[in-house]
Structure 1
Amino acid sequence: MLTAKPERVREIVACAEGLGVPRGSGMFRAALQAVSPLNEEKIATKLECLKKTFRWSDAQVSHAVSKAPGLLRKPKEALRHRSKFLISDVGLEPAYIAHRPVILYYSMEGRLRPRYYVLKFLKVNGLLDQNRDYYNTTALSEMAFVEKFICPHKESAPDLAEDYATICKGELPTNFRFT
């Protein structure tokens, strides 16, 4: 942006503000970075892609992009993959995702899928005492997640730590059972 012509900088600022990100907010810089390589047509195409992929209303798209402008830089295929997993497999509602769009930044193989499998395993085996909010479990640091969901079950599920490590490598462990 520093080498761009002043007219282009004004366009970029207007686009960022058009996404609903106020100039004084901490997200404004991220919005500038997200829209700077794009023109208005590409931004409109990306917004339409988000709308179709996540089954969001215009208001939900606006809300999600204002909270996570980097979604405009995500490839369509990555967004489709996350949508399928979060909506079909995990069972999240589109509105839930729209209000927590940061979840779409997390790695599928390194965070979203492994933590889903751990929660599913714990629920199926009666080891999770209450229904946990999926976003809150994905937002935890790795150390906090392990301390809260793996370590307490060392005796009742001795293979859980090893299984979690295997899942984080992108492999489904053979001894991971949902019985």
Structure 2
Amino acid sequence: MVACAERLGVPRGSGMFRVALQAVAFLSEEKIAAKVDHVKKAFSWSDAEVVAALSMAPMLLKRSKDTLRRRFEFLVSEVGLEPGYIAHRPVMLYYSLEGRLKPRYYVLKFLKENGLLDCNWSFYTAVTRSDKYFMKKCICPHQEAAPHLAEDYAAACRGEMPSNFRFT
């Protein structure tokens, strides 16, 4: 297990080493190789990008191919992120598509389209911040201009994606 975790690019002394051990604990060498190969091909990542992604997020090996594919496709096709960008920020693939990625994307999109986003938030910043922080910085400041934003965001987090976030 130790050698396998190290082959993923996670050095023994790093804080991520325990996580890497958990990720490989019940997987055979063949399954790990198959997962790595699948991620490399499906996401068009280079060997270096695969190593970078797995060294930062080794639990990707535990996610199903379908779950990873759906999240990756959303990040590339909807959000417009490059595969290499995602490889260096793989934690985005951990978050729920319906409960976090989509709702926050639609809030940012709404705010940008309506000239309400006063800071230059990246999508990565938006999804990695806590819900409390996201609400405080992205939703609460716009209660007057977009009174339904909090309600629409909450509905989106429940999987009830509004067709459009509303102004009035």
Report TM bin, short chain.
over 0.9
Contact 1:21 1:66 in 2 (8 A): yes
Report the TM-score when normalising by structure 2: 0.95
Determine helix, strand or coil for the equivalent of 1:127: coil
Q: Given the alignment, which residue of 74, 81, 105 partners 2:63?
A: 74
RMSD: 1.4
Contact 1:68 1:101 in 2 (8 A): yes
In structure 1, the partner of 2:32 is: 43
In structure 1, the partner of 2:89 is: 100
When structure 1 is superposed on structure 2, of 50-59 and 150-159 the one drifting more is: 50-59
Report the TM-score when normalising by structure 1: 0.89
Report the identity percentage. 66
- Separation (CA, whole Å) in 2 of partners of 1:82 and 1:174: 20
- Separation (CA, whole Å) in 2 of partners of 1:42 and 1:85: 26
Letter in 2 for 1:97: I
In structure 1, the partner of 2:22 is: 33
Runs of 4+ deviating beyond 6 Å: none
Gaps of 5+ in 2: none
Q: Deviations over 1:122-160 (max 9, x none)?
A: 011111134421111111110000000000000000110
| TM-superposed deviation, 1:49 | 1.2
- Separation (CA, whole Å) in 2 of partners of 1:18 and 1:121: 43
1:65 aligns with 2:54: yes
Gaps of 5+ in 1: 1-11
